[in-house]
Amino acid sequence: MRKNNTIFILFFILFLSVATVNVNAQLNDYSYKLGLQVHYVMPANEFENDGVSMLFRPFARFELSHIFDLGVGIGYGWMQGVDYSGTNTYMTKMVPIDARLILSPFVLETWNPYVYAGIGGVSWWISDPPKYPSRPVDYTGFSGYVPVGGGVEIALSKNWILDIAGGWNRAFSDDLNGLESNVNYDHDRWWNVGIGAAYVKTSCEIDPDEDGLTNCEEDKIGTDPENPDTDGDGLKDGEEVMQYNSDPLNADSDGDGLKDGEEVKAYQTDPLKADTDNDGLNDFAEVVTYKTDPLNADTDGDTLKDGEEVNKYKTDPNKADTDMDGLNDGIEVNKTKTDPLNADTDGEGLKDGEEVTKYNTNPLEVDTDKGSIDDFVEVARGTNPLDPADDIMIERVTIYDVNFGFDSSNLSANNQKKLDDLIEKLKIRSSVKVKVEGYTDSVGPAAYNLKLSKRRADVVKQYLVDKGIKSDRISTIGFGEKNPVDSNKTKEGRAKNRRVEISKAE
């Protein structure tokens, strides 16, 4: 009995030493297993055990379901012990053959416990019969027997397992040890505990890497059945094949520079389409280079596609108004035809947006009304940039040089030049009316000076009329010595006070 205990302890230690091996043999979901077991046999009959009893058993197992297997085996071995004399030994050799139903209730990664029960037959012959007691029995025979027991399979590699098993066997005969018992229905039995190894032929209908594809499918596609993400793109092979239709052997199926997994999980772009939003930029360029939205063809909402902005117009696809002129890029390109990169396309000083939305001027024309004064100047001075008539400013003209002699109302050549310049402007500004004011110095009676100032104003009016300006556009008045612009105490001051002023009539 001490020897039997030692053997069980050795098998237990062996089990513990290999039960934690981290490999991925296919313990379940396989095609077949072929192996050899070596058992230590402990007879359970009328005699005491003595010596070493062994059984060598080749076996095969076939999967019936995820938890049930069919096992068949044939063996060769012997049992021996000491008869009642205490000194004489016997030996029975046997060839058992059986079929077993094996239950594997747990699906573990590296080891697989199981129990079994079966039915079989054993052919036996007694090579050394017992001497005492001596009873007439058959020294050869064949008997049915029932094996029951359990064990554990431990993965050693992808295709090899270690099998540790033990069981109890009951024969339908009581003659295996050469002594038939006097007890009715008593049959010979034996215990066995053993170790073996088996080759595992894996099934291709399994999915060991849990990627959603069986080994059969992975073999056909060319993916790695032990790597759930063969191309390392962040998507399982099964997802690529069955859900996204991407290439599980190519991390970037559409060649846009983004991994398929990034497209699906991070950016929600199409891993089969380099330019998901059809804007003329591939998804990588949008995400990495330009920081635009790969799902929106017009990221900044200016009606220009991101690709047009980058490739054609060089505008900023993240900024609706690249040049910050008050017009978005789409309006500048498609409607106003202005330069979306230049806030002042015509260069006159007004932003394109001001011209279009505020002043209604043409952002492509420096002088919208073609009145000779550019739009910026007209806006700055308060004239209408859409009306050419006000482009020519009717500014106050003062005639007060020394050629106005005392008690005289004649015009000098210099004064005529000033009036001729005014006449040119009045001809352009045909709707403008002017007023002519005459002044004198303080020399002479005031009443006389008042009349003289009026005559001087009339002379200027007549000159204008003679040059083509209608009389009804000109009014005259004399102020005499009123409103001096300088001192009447000096010659120079009096000369300045003898003047005529022409200005635009309000």
In a domain, 246, yes or no: yes
Number of domain units in the chain: 4
The domain that holds 108 is classified in CATH as 2.40.160.20
Q: How far apart are CA 122 and CA 12, in angstroms?
A: 29
Q: Residue 210 domain-assigned?
A: no
Is the pLDDT score of 165 beyond 50? yes
Looking at the structure, tell me whether residues 73 and 29 fall in a common domain: yes
Domain assignment present for residue 208? The answer is no
Instruction: Mark whether 59 and 163 lie in a shared domain.
Output: yes
* Residue 246: alpha-carbon gap to chain centroid: 15
Residue 223 forms part of a structural domain:
yes
Which carries the bigger pLDDT value, residue 56 or residue 8?
56
Which segment of 147-151, 286-290, 327-331, 398-402 scores lowest on mean pLDDT? 398-402
Ranking 393-407, 470-484, 487-501 by mean pLDDT, the lowest is: 393-407
CA atoms within 13 A on the CB side of 124: 31
Claim to verify: residue 74 and residue 165 sit in the same structural domain: yes
Q: How confident is residue 309, by pLDDT bands cut at 50, 70 and 90?
A: very high
Residue 189 has a pLDDT of 94
Mean pLDDT within 404-410? 50
Provide the pLDDT confidence category of residue 178 given band limits of 50, 70 and 90: confident
Cβ–Cβ under 8 Å, residues 177 and 162:
no
Residues 33, 162 within the same domain:
yes
Q: What is the pLDDT of residue 424?
A: 86
* Pair (235, 320) in one structural domain: yes
402 and 386 housed in the same domain: no
- What average pLDDT score do residues 250-257 get? 96
Using DSSP bridges, classify how beta strands 474-478 and 434-438 pair: parallel, antiparallel or unpaired. Answer: parallel
In a shared domain, residues 152 and 248? no
415 and 289 within one domain? no
Looking at residue 504, its pLDDT comes to 86
* Percent of the chain residues topping a pLDDT of 90: 66
Region label for 245, one of left (φ > 0), alpha (ψ between -120 and 50) or beta (otherwise): left
Q: State the alpha helices, DSSP H only, in 239-356.
A: 260-261, 283-284, 306-307, 329-331, 352-353
Residue pair 352/363 in contact by the 8 Å Cβ criterion = yes
The reported pLDDT for the residue numbered 410 is: 67
Q: Which residue has the higher pLDDT, 504 or 194?
A: 194
Residue-wise pLDDT for 15-53, tens only, equals: 444 444 444 455 777 889 999 999 999 999 888 888 899
For residue 207, is it within any domain?
no
Residue 400 has pLDDT above 80, yes or no: no
Q: What single string gives the DSSP state of each residue in 27-63?
A: SSSEEEEEEEEEEEEEEESSSEE-S-EEEEEEEEEEE
User: Is there a domain that residue 168 lies in?
Assistant: yes
Q: With respect to residue 436, please indicate whether it lies within any of the assigned structural domains.
A: yes
Domain end among 355, 374, 390: 390
Q: Which of 52-61, 204-213, 404-413 has the lowest mean pLDDT?
A: 404-413
What residues contact 202, with CB distance under 8 A and at least 6 apart? Answer: 26, 29, 30, 31, 158, 159, 215
Q: Which tokens sit at 165?
A: 């098993």
Residue 181: pLDDT above 80?
no
Whether residues 407 and 262 share a domain: the answer is no
Summarised one tens digit per residue, pLDDT across range 321-378 is 999 999 999 999 999 999 999 999 999 999 999 999 999 999 999 999 888 889 999 8
* pLDDT surpasses 60 at 403: no
Does residue 391 surpass a pLDDT of 80? no
Lowest-pLDDT choice from 119-123, 221-225, 495-499: 495-499
Residue owning tokens 């995400």: 287
The alpha-carbon radius of gyration of the chain (Å, integer) is 59
Can you read off the two tokens belonging to residue 296? 């929106």
Same domain, 469 and 448: yes
Residue 235: give the domain boundaries.
215-339
Rounded mean pLDDT, 159-184 = 87
- Write down the pLDDT at residue 15: 46
Q: How far is it, in rounded angstroms, from Cα 477 to Cα 461?
A: 10
Per residue in 444-463, pLDDT (tens digit) is: 999 999 999 899 899 899 99
Q: Which of 355, 390, 425 is the last residue of a domain?
A: 390
Contact yes or no for 95/115 (Cβ under 8 A)? no
Which residue among 390, 408, 426 closes a domain?
Answer: 390
Is 477 part of a structural domain of the chain? Answer: yes
Average pLDDT (392-411) is 63
pLDDT score, position 472: 94
Angle at 53 between CA 50 and CA 55, to 5 degrees: 170
pLDDT of 300 higher than 90: yes
When the pLDDT of each residue in the chain is averaged and rounded to a whole number, the result is 88
Average pLDDT over residues 143-168: 95
pLDDT score recorded for residue 25: 53
State the pLDDT at residue 406. Answer: 46
